């Protein structure tokens, strides 16, 4: 079966502190959004990408994605989850029974990680997410004072892509939204609905460009990936 990917790209990038939303900042010749979407479409199983754009987006028409036959756009919403839901609703779930969701702000995801997640989900017929084991010792705090050291062995960073059956994910997100639950990724909606989600260990190269310093790091990673062709 072919796969569709929803790419939420309707954020304003507040923490990045640039005037244009961070997904339109350039690394080498291309915007972050172009790097991300073209990487996804270079995977042989991914045949459609639905990008959720900000209501007032004025940058997308100037990208190489604007007239791309495998790219569709929808208008995103207030929170990331609203943007993801708008994208999911635009998918024909009979044609795409499984869907991936991937942050526009993660251009450094590797093709091998995408492959690993897809294989794990289809083999187990079980939704899942790329994730990274926590390395540092973790502390819980109150007023900047440590109250507790948190057991690290079972802690993971949740990355994207995240992959689930399309209809299950839509239902879970709608249920979570209507209950007012805090949904920061697709897995949290699935968990809220009582569903299962497997963790697939990904690469630490798959950073989310969040703060100004991340731009140089992402450029370094992308250049390295291109030079040794391991993306």
Q: Which is nearer to ligand CTP, 51 or 172 (CB)?
A: 51
Between CA 65 and CA 54 the distance in angstroms is: 15
Which SS3 state, helix, strand or coil, does residue 107 take?
A: coil
Q: To the nearest whole angstrom, how small is the minimum distance from the Cβ of residue 116 to ligand CTP?
A: 21
Residues 201-220, interacting with ligand CTP (CB under 6 A):
208, 210
Choose one: 39-47, 98-106, 162-170, 198-206; the region binding ligand CTP (CB under 6 A). 98-106
Q: To the nearest whole angstrom, how small is the minimum distance from the Cβ of residue 95 to ligand CTP?
A: 23
How much is the CA Rg of the chain, to the nearest whole Å? 17
Query: Among 80, 165, 183, 218, which residue interacts with ligand CTP (rule: CB under 6 A)?
Result: 80
Which SS3 state, helix, strand or coil, does residue 175 take?
A: helix
Q: To the nearest whole angstrom, how small is the minimum distance from the Cβ of residue 145 to ligand CTP?
A: 27
Query: Among 10, 40, 91, 99, which residue interacts with ligand CTP (rule: CB under 6 A)?
Result: 10
Between CA 160 and CA 180 the distance in angstroms is: 23
Nearest to 116, CA basis, from 1, 6, 200, 205: 200
Between CA 31 and CA 19 the distance in angstroms is: 15
Contact by Cβ (8 Å): 53, 24:
no
Between CA 56 and CA 75 the distance in angstroms is: 9
Residue 52 touching ligand CTP (CB under 6 A): yes
Contact track, ligand CTP, 110-149, x by CB under 6 A? ----------------------------------------
Task: List residues near ligand CTP by CB under 6 A.
Answer: 8-15, 23, 52, 76-80, 83, 103-105, 208, 210
């Amino acid at each position: 079966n072919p796969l569709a990917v929803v790419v939420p790209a309707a954020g304003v990038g507040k923490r990045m502190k640039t005037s244009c939303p961070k997904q339109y900042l350039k690394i080498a010749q291309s915007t972050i959004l172009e790097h991300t979407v073209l990487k996804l479409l270079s995977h042989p199983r991914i045949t459609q990408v639905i990008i959720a754009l900000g209501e007032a987006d004025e940058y997308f028409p100037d990208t190489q994605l604007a007239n791309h036959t495998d790219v569709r756009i929808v208008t995103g919403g207030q929170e990331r989850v609203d943007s993801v839901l708008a994208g999911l609703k635009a998918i024909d779930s009979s044609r795409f029974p499984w869907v991936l969701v991937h942050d526009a702000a993660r251009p450094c995801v590797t093709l091998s990680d995408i492959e690993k997640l897809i294989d794990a989900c289809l083999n187990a017929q079980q939704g899942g997410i790329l994730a990274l084991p926590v390395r540092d010792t973790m502390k819980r705090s109150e007023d900047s004072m440590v109250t507790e050291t948190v057991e690290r062995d079972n802690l993971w960073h949740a990355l994207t892509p995240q992959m689930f059956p399309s209809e299950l994910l839509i239902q879970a997100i709608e249920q979570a939204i209507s209950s007012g639950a805090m949904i920061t990724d697709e897995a949290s909606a699935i968990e809220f609905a009582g569903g299962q989600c497997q963790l697939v260990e990904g690469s630490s190269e798959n950073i989310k460009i969040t703060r100004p310093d991340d731009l140089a790091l992402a450029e370094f990673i992308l250049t390295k990936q291109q030079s040794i062709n391991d993306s």
